[in-house]
């Protein structure tokens, strides 16, 4: 069995996160909307941001991709703020508005990652880091209290 590349695994996570948000926003019952798909998508996106910042970005930065990495860090902070707002928002209408904002943020962000950074991931990530990342992709959890780099201030 062929092992999925790191880039392919990361792109798959993008699609799964998008699907979770889509499942929440497409729910036809506006008053009794099921938040579980959204909750899972929020958790998955926070975990995805963690693995990028902790495992991928240092190698990409060292390989000369500092400018796009810095842009991704800034965008992660913007998304993190949107995620915080979504988790705290009890009103369905406001949550849907925040989901639309997040969807636009992800659309632009993911496209850049997939076209600029991910093609380099398998080439520049040292094998020990790649092994840790693969293990994390399989079963890793976001550390309690972790916040993305640019949202820590």
Q: 52-86 pLDDT, tens per residue?
A: 999 999 999 999 999 999 999 999 999 999 999 99
Taking the C-alpha atoms of residue 21 and residue 43, their distance in angstroms, rounded to an integer, is 11
Q: 69 is written with which tokens?
A: 């990495």
Domain-located, residue 153:
no
Whether the per-residue pLDDT at 1 is higher than 70: the answer is no
What is the domain extent for residue 84? 6-148
Domain-located, residue 72:
yes
**pTM (2 d.p.):** 0.94
Angle at the Cα of 55 (from 152 to 150), degrees rounded to 5?
Answer: 20
| Confidence band for 27, pLDDT divided at 50, 70 and 90 | low
CATH number of the domain at 97, please: 1.20.120.520
Domain-located, residue 1:
no
Q: 38-51 pLDDT, tens per residue?
A: 999 999 999 999 99
Q: b vs e for 7-23, b when ≥16 Cβ sit within 10 Å of the residue's Cβ? A: bebbbebbeebbebbee
Task: Give me the number of domains the chain comprises.
Answer: 1
């Amino acid at each position: 069995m062929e092992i999925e590349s790191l880039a392919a695994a990361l792109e798959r996570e993008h699609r799964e996160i998008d699907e979770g948000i889509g499942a929440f926003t497409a729910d036809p019952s506006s008053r009794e909307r099921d938040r579980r798909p959204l909750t899972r998508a929020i958790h998955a996106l926070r975990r995805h941001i963690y693995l990028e910042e902790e495992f991928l970005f240092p190698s990409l930065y060292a390989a000369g991709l500092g400018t796009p990495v810095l842009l991704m860090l800034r965008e992660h902070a913007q998304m993190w703020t949107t995620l915080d707002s979504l988790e705290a928002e009890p009103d369905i209408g406001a949550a849907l508005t925040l989901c639309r904002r997040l969807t636009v943020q992800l659309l632009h962000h993911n496209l850049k990652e997939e076209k600029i950074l991910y093609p380099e991931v398998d080439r520049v990530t040292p094998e020990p880091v790649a092994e840790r990342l693969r293990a994390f992709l399989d079963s890793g959890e976001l550390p309690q209290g972790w916040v993305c780099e640019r949202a820590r201030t």
